[in-house]
Amino acid sequence: MPKNWKAIAAALNVEIPDSDMEKIQVSLDSLDQALRPLLKNLPHETEPAVIFQCQPKEN
C-alpha cells in the first residue's frame, strides 16, 4: 500500500510545496516497494556496511 508521503513530510516538519510533492511521490513509492522485498531474506545478524572505528590513544 502506497505511503502518505505528504503526511510523512508534515510529521517530519519538512516543508515541500504540494506541486513538488506530486513530482516525487511515484518515485518514492516505487523505491519503497523495491526495497521491502529485499529485506525478507536478509540475515538478522548482518551489520551495515558503515563502520565506526575507535582509534587507540596515541602516546
Partner 1 sequence: MTIQEAAAALRAHKVSSLELTSAALDRTARLDPKLKAFITVMDESARSRARQADAELSRGVDLGSLHGIPVAVKDVFSTRGVRTTCGSKLFADHVPDQDAAVVERLESAGAVLIGKTNMHELAYGITSSNPHFGAVRNPWDLQRIPGGSSGGSGAAVAADLVFMAMGSDTGGSIRIPASFCGTVGLKPTFGRVSRYGVLPLDFSLDHMGPLTRSVRDAALVLNALAGFDPRDETCSRQATQDYCPAVHVSVRNIRIGLPENFYFDQADPTVTAAVRQMAKTTQSLGAQVLPARVPDIAALNTVGRVILLSEASALMERYLHQRQDFGADVLALLDQGRLLPATHYVNAQRLRRAMKEEFQSLWKQVDCIFVPTTPTSAPKIGQATIRFGDREEDARLASTRLVRGINVLGLPALSMPCGWDSLGLPLGLQIIGAPFQEALILRVGAALEDAIGVTQRVPTGIA
The three cell numbers locating residue 14 = 519538512
Q: x-or-dash pattern for partner 1, window 12-41, by CB under 8 A?
A: x-x-x---xx-xx--xx--xx-xx--xx--
Q: How far is CA 38 from CA 1, 18, 20, 30, in A?
A: 17, 31, 29, 13
CA–CA separation, 59 and 57 (whole Å): 6
4 touching partner 1, by CB under 8 A: no
Q: Which residues contact partner 1 (rule: CB under 8 A)?
A: 5, 8-9, 12, 14, 16, 20-21, 23-24, 27-28, 31-32, 34-35, 38-39, 42-43, 46-50
